[in-house]
A and B are shown apart, each in its own frame.
Chain A
Amino acid sequence: MERIRKHVECLALLACLLMILLLNGTAKEPITSSLAIPEENMLTVYTSHKEEVYGPIIKEFEERTGIWVQVEAGGTNELLERIAAEAAEGEGTQGDIMFGGGVDSLSVYSSYFQSYTSTQVQKLNPDYIDEESKWTSLSSLPIVFIYNNKLVYSAGTPRSWEELLDQRWKGKIAFADPRKSGTSFTALSTMLQILGEDSMEPFTDNLDGHISEDSGAVLDEVISGTRLIGITLEETALKRIAAGADIGMVYPKEGTSAVPDGCAILAGATHQKNAELFLEFTISEDVQQYLAQECYRRPVRTDIQTKGRQAFAEITYDIDWTGKRQKALLKEWEACVR
């Protein structure tokens, strides 16, 4: 009898505790099945583009394909290093595709990308095709000189790379730190390829200790008149001019590099099919046209009209040489500006 009573007591207590526990745990609101996004409708894009570039393109991609895109934005080198780090950790990459970044930078990290040959490869400018198909170019970005229209007499603007070494421009050139700015490094490399490696020292002398914060600052300094001339991308210059900046643009007469930026599918991408779809989308007619018309870029497709865009002498930019010499060149730069 005693034992039975004991059992009943225990049961009653247990029931009470259970009730409390049940009442305590507020029911978690599960995501309704209609709201759940299937894995095959997802894509993670690493992009070094500015939001105004990637935003509309990704939005359009989403609307057209119904694929939800997760954007991880950052600097080119930051993202490439992240890709390398993720690969090193061995847990596989979080991203699926790298959208943006000069192909020279992408080449350095080519081992983290998979080869993919676009179905539209025939339409592309053959100059901008990777032999290994590790990357696919998006747009070409010529390096140009800019000058302040008010402060520089148009006849006296620098016309060539060589002129930049002239004493006349000492302390008047806006140039971003190539250690921080990819554009700036490409510009430096272009100059060295044209003028020879011994031009590094006179050039840095001519900067007279002034190095701009980043590529955006180059434009600001020239527009505000702090510096008279600057070295930047055609795209950036055109955009600022369109926005009303009173600056002029010069294509160097020795020629200039037009290193394209590109797109590369990460090795081990989780959403392989969607990554391919996205890559194809970036070189589609619509996107190329959009880039040319709305973003002041030069398309890599040969079938897109670029009205009102000036022709220029393009040098063959040695990507391999740059890739191999990058560290040495930057070290030399560091020594010169110190």
Chain B
Amino acid sequence: MRQMIKKSFKREILLCFVILALLPLLLSNSFLIQVFKTSVARDEERRAYEQIEKVESKLLSLFQEFDRISAAMSKNELIIDGITETDGWIRNKIYTELYSETSSLRELAQFSIYDGEGNCRFFTDQVILDHIPTYWGTMKVAKAHAGEVVIRNVTEYTVSNDLILQSVRSIYDASDECVGYLVMDMSSDNFERLLQSTFETQSELTIVDNFWEEVYSTETARKEGVASILRERRMAGEAISQQSDAIRFFMKPVGDTGLFVVLGRTPVFTDAITRQMFFIMLVLAGITLVLCLILAEFMSVNLSRPIQKMTRAMSEAENGNLNARIETRRVDEFGELSRNFNRMTSQLKSYMELQVRQQKELNDANISMMQAQLNPHFLYNTLDTMKWVAKVNHIPELATMSSSLAKILRTSISEHKFIPLEEELQLVESYVEIQKIRFFGNFTFDMEVPMELEECIVPKLIVQPIVENAILHGLEGKADGHIFLNALEKNGILQIEVSDDGCGMAPEITERLNSRDRDQLKGHLGFYNVDTIISLYYGAEYGVHAENLQTGGTKVTITLPVRRTNEKQ
């Protein structure tokens, strides 16, 4: 896995992006959901308990009121004496007492007075239970706890199976005998009226007694059997609210009455909403992932394309294509690098071209020299024959010319590219012999070469073309011209000077001769060739230089390093 990621730049970038984008998103979202959930649950709990407390206070104030009223009534002589009364007038008076005392609560409950046998004698609304056993249940407890109100849940089975919450206070007469009971009965209708607007209508409210048996339930709670479910849970030791419930239950005891108020609320933050939020989070994560993929692709292309381009251009250059260039408009580090590469290849290219040109020029000179050697043996033999024929026929000029030409030819056709200066000078002398005959001895030729320089090694045929130039151009149109050749060594440099006393040269011609430009030296090929040969062999600082002498005439200087026989080849 790690290897797989490391192998690709794109994957590395993608991993970075995913970690940077996805992890904070997922973390912060789930954290947010949880925080939101917790705070909503806390808020709901607070609201639920607010409602429960309202219900509780309503119930408690009702019980307190009944406690107050019943305490007063149980001391009422009229009632104590008149419970079993059959006389209509007294009964009326008792009823008046009962109604006036209970006026504040009559909307909320029914009130009855039972005699000591448990038979109902007086009632405000209707008879709830005609007879209640006194050895049993509420009455028994009330009888035993004189001066207290006993609250108990009873079911009326004979007619309606209604649940009734009975609050009973026993009435004792002066002789400490229980003569009757004051009873407050609360039915579902009464609870409904009492608890009106104390809790939200969509909530489920259940009131249970100390054994968690139903006392009152709102309609939905009764249908769902909330009380019995909760009782089962309590007996099984389970939590009142369970994860699987659609509603959440909140519970609180009502004072010391033994009753409990249970409120069921549908949680706002249901599992479905949680799921939905997590789903949205996942969708967001998905979108982020896609964005990461796209960005990673873009970034990697942005970074890797110039690298690829550079790699390609480099391999092209490696294969010899120095025209390889990297096109880029970027101004960042990649652009800089590309431009540097381009500069490097273009410099490399011009250097290579220079080398090729030099090689080519050398080849050209060689070719022309080889062409000059065309069929030399034939020419040589012919010239020898001509010499002997001339001698036989006593034509000495022709013999001399043939012999000199043969000498020139021998030297020029020899395999050696370098010859001693002495030999070169002999060749020049032979050439001059011929030219003297050609020009009817119209010029003189002298040379002055120190003995020690005669064995210097020079490229062959470098002096002859210069002497030829001097004869043909320097002495042009002049009778009795003089050509002087001397050689000298100065600081290891051999200087061979050929000067004439001719007409000299126009300055532009001097300039052209010294320019070393092949195109400008058309018609002065001899001069150019010598200069090229010397500069190719020894370097550009050596060569041929022409100048006009102040005395008139021209001097051409050949410069080349001094090499002796034993040093070279």
Specify which of A23, A52, A286 is in contact with B135 (CB 8 Å cutoff).
A286
A311 within 8 A of B: no
Q: Known A23-B34, A29-B240, A60-B137; judge A55-B235 contact (CB<8 A).
A: no
Closest-by-CB residue of A relative to B135 is A286
Q: Which B residues are CB-close (under 8 A) to A335? A: none
In the bound complex, do residue A55 and residue B155 qualify as a contact, i.e. CB atoms below 8 Å apart? yes
Q: Known A23-B30, A29-B241, A63-B152; judge A289-B133 contact (CB<8 A).
A: yes
In the bound complex, do residue B41 and residue A26 qualify as a contact, i.e. CB atoms below 8 Å apart? yes
Q: Which B residues are CB-close (under 8 A) to A16? A: 23, 27
B237 within 8 A of A: yes
B158 within 8 A of A: yes
In the bound complex, do residue A24 and residue B235 qualify as a contact, i.e. CB atoms below 8 Å apart? no
Q: Which B residues are CB-close (under 8 A) to A30? A: 239
B136 within 8 A of A: yes
- CA distance in complex: A26, B241 (Å): 12
- CA distance in complex: A30, B238 (Å): 8
Q: Which A residues are CB-close (under 8 A) to B135? A: 286, 289-290
In the bound complex, do residue B31 and residue A35 qualify as a contact, i.e. CB atoms below 8 Å apart? no
Among residues 1 to 55 in chain B, which have CB atoms less than 8 Å away from a CB atom of chain A?
Answer: 23, 27, 30-31, 34-35, 37-38, 41
- CA distance in complex: A294, B38 (Å): 54
In the bound complex, do residue B157 and residue A62 qualify as a contact, i.e. CB atoms below 8 Å apart? no
A56 within 8 A of B: yes
Flag B128-153 by CB within 8 Å of A: 1 or 0 each.
00000101110001000000000011
Min Cβ gap B211→A in Å is 5
Q: Which A residues are CB-close (under 8 A) to B30? A: 20, 23-24
Q: Known A20-B30, A23-B30, A290-B133; judge A42-B239 contact (CB<8 A).
A: no
In the bound complex, do residue B240 and residue A70 qualify as a contact, i.e. CB atoms below 8 Å apart? no
In the bound complex, do residue A31 and residue B155 qualify as a contact, i.e. CB atoms below 8 Å apart? no
Q: Secondary structure of the B side of the interface?
A: mixed
Specify which of B31, B141, B154, B237 is in contact with A31 (CB 8 Å cutoff).
B237
In the bound complex, do residue A42 and residue B235 qualify as a contact, i.e. CB atoms below 8 Å apart? yes
Q: Which B residues are CB-close (under 8 A) to A24? A: 30, 34
- In this complex, the member of B27, B35, B232, B235 whose beta carbon has the largest number of chain A beta carbons within 10 angstroms is B235
B213 within 8 A of A: yes
Q: Which B residues are CB-close (under 8 A) to A63? A: 137, 141, 152, 211
- CA distance in complex: A290, B157 (Å): 14
Specify which of B137, B157, B235, B241 is in contact with A70 (CB 8 Å cutoff).
B235
A-B contact sample (14 more), CB < 8 A, given A23-B30, A23-B38, A63-B152: A16-B23, A29-B239, A31-B237, A31-B238, A31-B240, A37-B234, A37-B237, A51-B157, A55-B157, A63-B137, A68-B211, A68-B234, A70-B235, A286-B135
Chain B residues near A (Cβ < 8 Å): 23, 27, 30-31, 34-35, 37-38, 41, 133, 135-137, 141, 152-155, 157-158, 211, 213, 232, 234-235, 237-241, 243
